């Protein structure tokens, strides 16, 4: 099972850089990393991290390797969107973004993202209620996709209830 997670980095980071980005980010990112750990028993998890400091990085990419490569990736919507379009064809897609990022990336490009959605895939989207209400899930539901939403409140990227619902749905999908 292919699982793609899209989230933003955190302002809180570890001091050491000889770790992958998924472990480098702390604070509000820890629930994302923990969710990825739980999902790994069901398939291959790709974490895509949108970072003000590093651009778009992968969760398994080593921070030290990134820094020593002298890459200076700026946040580039086109590269993020390309990864979103690719990720949309995964069996499980998890998108947990702040309101401004969700609005600029997801809302403005939802029809294309929906076109790329794999039939009968599982989608979990976390964003402000107003953002979630502004897109229609009909297109992906017609493809047989299961959609779980989390109306983000405060800094919590995903609630325990939604996490458990997602894990249960992935577990069920993995056995069918």
CA–CA separation, 34 and 25 (whole Å): 12
Mean pLDDT of the chain: 93
Instruction: Select from 15, 18, 40 the least CA-distant residue to 26.
Output: 15
For residue 97, the number of C-alpha atoms closer than 13 Å in the C-beta half-sphere is 24
Q: Residue 160: which CATH number?
A: 3.40.50.360
Mind listing the pLDDT tens digit for each residue in 126-149?
Answer: 999 999 999 999 999 999 999 999
Exposure string of 9-46, with b = 16+ CB inside 10 Å and e = fewer, is bbeebeeeeeebbbbbbeebbebbbebbeebeebbebb
Cβ atoms 52, 98 nearer than 8 A: no
Whether residue 154 has pLDDT greater than 80: no
Sequence-separated (6 or more) residues with CB below 8 Å from residue 10: 25, 26, 27, 28, 29
Mind listing the pLDDT tens digit for each residue in 14-51?
Answer: 999 999 999 999 989 999 999 999 999 999 999 999 98
- In the chain, the number of structural domains is 1
Domain span at residue 79 reads: 2-175
């Amino acid at each position: 099972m292919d699982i793609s997670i899209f989230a933003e980095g955190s302002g809180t980071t570890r001091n050491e850089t000889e770790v992958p980005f998924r472990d480098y980010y702390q604070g509000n990112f820890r629930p994302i990393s923990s969710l990825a750990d739980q999902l790994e028993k069901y398939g291959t998890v790709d974490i895509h991290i949108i970072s003000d400091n590093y651009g778009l990085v992968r969760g398994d990419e080593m921070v030290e390797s990134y820094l020593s490569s002298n890459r200076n990736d700026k946040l580039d919507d086109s590269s993020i969107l390309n990864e979103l379009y690719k990720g949309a064809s995964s069996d499980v897609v998890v998108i947990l973004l702040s309101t401004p990022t969700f609005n600029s990336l997801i809302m403005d490009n939802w029809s294309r993202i929906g076109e790329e959605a794999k039939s009968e895939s599982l989608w979990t989207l976390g964003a402000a209620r107003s953002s979630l209400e502004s897109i229609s899930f009909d297109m992906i539901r017609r493809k047989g996709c299961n959609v779980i939403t989390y109306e983000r409140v405060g800094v919590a990227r995903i609630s325990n209830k939604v996490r458990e619902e997602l894990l249960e749905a992935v577990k069920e999908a993995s056995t069918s």
